[in-house]
Amino acid sequence: MKEANQYRDEIEALTALVARISDQGAAISDEAVHIKADAERLSVRLSGHVRVALVGRVGSGKANLLSFLLGEVLAPDGFAAGQRPTIMVNHADDPYIVAGWWDGRRNRHEGTAMAAAMAERPEYLEFGRPLQVLETMSFTDMPASADDERQLRNLKWLVPRADVILWAKSAAEAWSPEEADLWRAIPASLRDKSLLVATEADQAAPETFDEIAARLTRETDGAFHEVRPIATATAIAAAPGGVVKDKATWQQTGARELLLALIDRTKAVRLAQLDTARGVLEAAEVLEDAPEAPTQQAAIMPGRPTARDGGRAGSQGTGDALSNSESVVLGQLHDRIGILIRKARGGTTFKEEAFLMACTNVLDDLAFMIADRKAMLPDTLWVNEAVEEATDRLAELSLQGDRAAAEEAAGLLLQLSKDLSWTVAA
């Protein structure tokens, strides 16, 4: 991938770090294990594309939006509304189509003809195309459904696989309570990297686009980073095959503004990933330079369950403690918070926006781990409440975006880290 060349130094440093830790065998600290896991994940993400997901309810104009972005129609025919397979589009020098099923079966078809792949009635279609836009981004078009529960399940599957969300909605329609309910499933870190695309604005005069954006911003209570209207069909007609032929018309469709907004969000993703990667590398340097220290007992916070009573205030000895896997995940998150705190304390030069986004990513990972649990124990509900409170405050601080906001965010995470210490020790 061409874009990866920009991050070659960080990718090589992360790869070397993973190798150094691996060479130490089993005799490594827990923090080194967590740093290695973060380094592996970040190396993969920086080597890959920014993952853009298209979301919207039935009739939202998602298919035309994807066609506009690609300059090519990839909408499969022959499916009832809400039954279309998931569409994934990646860069490839030689075009191909994969008909796939969620049980792992995949049948690859070379070329661009969809008929053979469609005849297999797949659950998803993966397209490889030699398009310039795909050198930096990949796209996933999640199928819409009139069944809100199914739509929510689809959205929860999609969220961990997305860096940016384009939420499609007809420009003529109001933001609905059903959409608001679905939106609440999006973590805070993705909300700031999401755009609401008011599609099918072809009947609206270009001078009214700002009014459309202002109305939807009010209706969504500013939930999206930006609202961008687009006259989708007109933009596609003015740029057949993705090449602008009628520049005057194309510039009146909102297409340019949407593309610039999308590029801005993908840059924000990379900025956050790079900042986090540098933080991991700095934490590794601190760890490698530090003398070995005995394991310390986790801090005991007033009013919180502690490791001394098995992590359960008022426990009746039921044995319903967090599972080993959950404790490991919380431990990793605890250590990631520590990396960010050390970075803030160390006076390292960093951009406030990237630091705040990295803080939010940590909280969102924790929130999703909690949400994925089959049942939250009554005496651990404070964890979820604390994360929600911190996430809400971080959203406000992200809008503020200055050094004072970054310092307050570091303080929030420091307190949460202390509060989580009982769980890590349990």
- Pairing of the two strands 124-129 and 106-110: unpaired
- Tell me how far apart the alpha carbons of residues 355 and 337 are, in angstroms, rounded to a whole number: 11
Radius of gyration over alpha carbons of the chain, in Å?
23
Please check whether residue 376 is in contact with residue 384, taking contact to mean a CB–CB distance below 8 angstroms.
Answer: yes
Q: In the prediction, which pLDDT does 151 show?
A: 85
Q: In the prediction, which pLDDT does 6 show?
A: 74
H or E element: which one contains 139? strand 137-141
Q: Lay out the sheet containing 106-110: strands in order across.
A: 106-110, 96-100, 124-129, 86-91, 137-141, 50-55, 164-170, 194-199, 226-229
Tens of each residue's pLDDT in the chain, 426 residues: 555 567 888 899 999 999 988 888 767 777 888 888 888 888 988 888 999 999 998 889 999 999 999 998 887 766 666 678 899 999 999 999 999 998 889 999 999 888 899 889 999 999 999 998 999 999 999 888 878 888 888 888 888 889 999 999 999 999 999 999 888 888 877 888 899 999 999 999 988 999 999 999 999 998 999 999 999 999 999 999 888 999 999 999 999 999 999 999 999 999 888 888 888 888 888 777 655 544 433 333 333 333 333 333 333 333 344 444 445 555 656 666 766 666 665 555 556 666 777 777 777 666 666 555 533 444 455 666 677 777 777 776 766 667 777 778 877 777 776 666 544 444
H or E element: which one contains 166? strand 164-170
Q: What is this structure's pTM? A: 0.68
- Tell me how far apart the alpha carbons of residues 362 and 23 are, in angstroms, rounded to a whole number: 28
Please check whether residue 358 is in contact with residue 272, taking contact to mean a CB–CB distance below 8 angstroms.
Answer: yes
Q: In the prediction, which pLDDT does 405 show?
A: 76
DSSP calls for 392-422: HHHHHHHHH-SHHHHHHHHHHHHHHHHHHHH
CA–chain centroid gap for 71, Å, is: 25
Q: In the prediction, which pLDDT does 350 show?
A: 57
- Tell me how far apart the alpha carbons of residues 37 and 18 are, in angstroms, rounded to a whole number: 8
Residue closest to 355 by CA, chosen among 424, 418, 276, 426? 276
Q: In the prediction, which pLDDT does 319 show?
A: 37
Q: In the prediction, which pLDDT does 374 show?
A: 38
Q: Map tokens 């890959």 to a residue.
A: 48
Please check whether residue 198 is in contact with residue 172, taking contact to mean a CB–CB distance below 8 angstroms.
Answer: no
- Tell me how far apart the alpha carbons of residues 350 and 357 are, in angstroms, rounded to a whole number: 12
Helix, strand, coil content of the chain in percent (nearest 5):
55, 10, 30
